[in-house]
Structure 1
Amino acid sequence: MMWVLLLNGLAYLGYGIFSGHFVRKLLSFGAMAAYRNVRLEMKHLLLHGTGEYNIVQRILYVVAVADLVALFFTGLTLWKPVQFQGLTNFLGGYDQARHIHFMGMSVLAAFIVVHVGVALAVKGTIKSMVTGRLAAQQVERRERR
């Protein structure tokens, strides 16, 4: 199962890097705009449409991708510490790798809870996820821009 996750992750990273998706959709934001959006999000005042990434989402997706990469490498260290002893030493030893892996899993679990919570909170998100199509109102709004 781990290797299926690895292949899927490599395909996603390859697509994101070579198509420019990461730069266009995730990494294009300024520090002040990010700060303002985080403050608005904390007050539940930040608006966004389905299929559009606001700055808070962009930051969280970058953290999630980096977390999955870290989880893969710490997982390798925990799975075969002798065969990957260079990686084990780089991570500070087996015990330190366990701690990093635990923290990474905690971050991933928190990301999933927040992600599902926001998907349930934003009207029309679940319907578009199930059907694969945006609601008619959202399509009209996009076309007017």
Structure 2
Amino acid sequence: MAAEEENVSQRLDKWLWAARFFKTRPLAVEAIDGGHVRVNDERVKPSRTVRPGDKLRIKKGFETWVVTVLGVNDYRRPAAEARLLYEESEHEREQREAVIEERRLHGVNIAVKKPDKRERRMIDKFKQGWES
């Protein structure tokens, strides 16, 4: 981690990217501008600096992360190293996982997509059987 004396803060969008919450910085900026990221329960701008000890609430899809910043890193490192940049309380993690499990059990995460060519032909064949 590059959390030296002179580098104890970092832009929020860059921190979210380095901590691997978002794949790119523009996606992080879009989430921040959309109000999906809060620092210490305040709506902020992407240029807001985060320091160790700040509490972040990150809504990403149906998941909500509540984490405490432990450090900063200028570079996007492997996931194992990125997890060292933040800490999620046990209660918040269990709550997030319970929501994921509930959605999985109710079949909410089933991807909806248009049928491909083969599937359309099967649907048409099925429909023709009912018309006869």
> TM-score, normalised on structure 2?
0.29
> TM-score, normalised on structure 1?
0.27
Instruction: Report which structure shows greater RCO (CA 8 Å, sep ≥6).
Output: 2
Structure 1 or 2: more strand by fraction:
2
Structure 1 or 2: more helix by fraction:
1
Structure with max Cα Rg: 2
